[in-house]
Amino acid sequence: MVENDETETSRHSIWTFLSFGSYQITWTIPTATMSLFMFYYYHTIVGLDPLLILFVTVINTVWASLNDPLIGYLTDRNFKWTQKWGRRFPWIMLAFIPQSLSLILIFSAPELDPANPWPVVLWLLFSLVLFDLFITLVDIHAAILRADKFRTEKERRKYSGFFGAFDMIAQVLGMMLPPLLLFFGDTRMSYTVMAVAIGFIGIIFGVLFIPGAREDKIIIDRYYSREYERLHIFKGVMIVLKQKSFMAFYAAYVAFLCATTIMTGMVAYMTTFILQESEDFMTIFFAIFLLGALISVPIWLKILKKVNNNKKVYLIGSFLLCALIVPLAFFQGPIDLAIIMFLVGFGTGCVWSIGIPVMLANAQDDYVVRTGKNQKGLLIGTWAVLGLITAFIDELLIAAVFTLTGFVPGISDYAELVATVANVDMVLFGIRLLLGIIPMLVLLVGTLIFWKYYPLTQEKILENKAKLKELGF
């Protein structure tokens, strides 16, 4: 039996945990804004056909599936500046400002000519590719550094509290702030101003992330602890694809993100077409969701500490969330919707707080033990495609439902919907399906895959940590 590492102390101060946790706002606010408004903006404001939005997403996903792992592979080596600045920190510094600024391009689409939509299609494609390039450079290295910096289970579980809180605050700010920033109503200018403000917030929190992202001498020395030998790219890819711990969690988290992103994207539709309220009304429900999520994080972490089984607690939270999502499709008014949003927030807190800081970090350890090399770029490069796969699945499902239910592009209020669409009830039914039933089914599939195939027991996790020490990592 391998000795538990719960008694080991951390060399990191509380400020390091706080600073590193602030990265979640830098990354999550722009991506939450994208989840909430990107499809809605191009569909209802710009007037682009949902199938063309899906077409762009497919191209971007195919490109990212090659580009993101390649970025991870090419940057996962020692350069002349590594000894001084570290292997991860320079790339984060290079890309975090362009990552925030590229969001502005996405929400600055040119006027659509119905006879020739291709300039808008190309604009969307170019801006998405640029956004993905910079956010991948930041996120790959932040994700690897998270596992390199917080080595023990005690550190990772402690950090998960900061991660979960920051990530939930960022998710909700990304949902609450954009509607409040639409000063000029449903116009292109309003969405551009919103993107400028969100980008500026991302830069501010990127600056706060800098102290936590710095690599100290202990981390840097690990890069030179063994003679460097580049892991062959095809061998590395095959190890990634064959690694059950990574692929099972990857499937589960793709499903989780797909479910939550679809629900997030439907909130604007729900507010406009079902509740028939202004965008500001969304902030109330997001605040209630945040309250449920924040209350749940310490509860889930206490459960994790008591049970001491990462997989079991993750499964409990995921199955609970599946059950809590369903009622979103059947709410009748603001009061029952508020109760449902609180409960969904409570269930979401488990996956948010445990998933990336604990489960993904353990999968990274497993990969290093299997390869014998401290080179996780390919693994995390593959992980970086997660957001694009999520967007592809989301927009495929949304485009399919809206096409089948007869939702006409360019409609931005309920009166226009009634005047334009023959079967309004069918359109509203489609929105309800996308709010509850479809996300639940997606999440359930991912959770069942994780339950069946995720192999890391607590004993195996501790064995991997012991092997990492033997390897000098």
Mean pLDDT value of segment 384-405: 79
Q: Which of 12-21, 240-249, 373-382, 456-465 has the lowest mean pLDDT?
A: 373-382
pLDDT at 279: 63
pLDDT at 406: 86
C-alpha dist (Å) from residue 288 to 138, 172, 321, 427: 31, 10, 16, 27
- Amino acid sitting at position 433: L
- 307 vs 169, higher pLDDT: 307
Encode pLDDT of 276-328 as tens digits.
Answer: 876 667 777 778 888 888 888 889 888 988 888 889 999 999 999 999 999 99
pLDDT at 230: 63
pLDDT at 35: 75
Most confident option among 42-51, 270-279, 377-386, 462-471: 42-51
What would the two tokens of residue 192 be? 């551009």
Counting residues of the chain whose pLDDT is more than 90, the rounded percentage is 20
What would the two tokens of residue 133 be? 């390039």
- 38 vs 227, higher pLDDT: 38
What would the two tokens of residue 296 be? 């749940």
Encode pLDDT of 103-123 as tens digits.
Answer: 999 999 999 888 899 999 999
Which run of H or of E encompasses 135?
Answer: helix 118-149
pLDDT at 2: 42
Is it the case that residue 447 has pLDDT exceeding 90? yes
12, 219 in Cβ contact below 8 A?
Answer: no
The secondary structure of the chain in percent helix, strand, coil, rounded to multiples of 5, reads 80, 0, 20
C-alpha–C-alpha distance, residues 291 and 285, integer Å: 10
C-alpha–C-alpha distance, residues 137 and 133, integer Å: 6
Chain mean pLDDT for the chain: 83
pLDDT at 184: 62
Buried/exposed code over 271-282 (b: 16+ C-beta within 10 A; e: otherwise)? bbbbbeeebebb
C-alpha–C-alpha distance, residues 265 and 434, integer Å: 9
Is it the case that residue 7 has pLDDT exceeding 60? no
| 3-state SS, residue 299 | helix
| 3-state SS, residue 232 | coil
What would the two tokens of residue 86 be? 């570290």
Encode pLDDT of 55-91 as tens digits.
Answer: 998 888 788 777 777 787 778 778 888 888 888 899 9
Is it the case that residue 152 has pLDDT exceeding 90? no
How is domain 18-471 classified at the CATH fold level?
Answer: Growth Hormone; Chain: A; (1.20.1250)
Quickly state the pLDDT bin for 124 (edges 50, 70, 90): very high
The alpha-helical segments, DSSP class H, found in 152-281 are 153-180, 188-213, 217-223, 233-242, 244-269
Q: What is the pTM of this model?
A: 0.69
Which run of H or of E encompasses 318?
Answer: helix 310-325
- 126 vs 171, higher pLDDT: 126
- Amino acid sitting at position 268: A
C-alpha dist (Å) from residue 26 to 30, 33, 103: 7, 12, 12
Is it the case that residue 48 has pLDDT exceeding 80? yes
Encode pLDDT of 358-376 as tens digits.
Answer: 888 888 888 888 877 766 6
Task: Report CA torsion sign: 357, 358, 362, 363.
Answer: negative
Quickly state the pLDDT bin for 1 (edges 50, 70, 90): very low
- Amino acid sitting at position 256: F
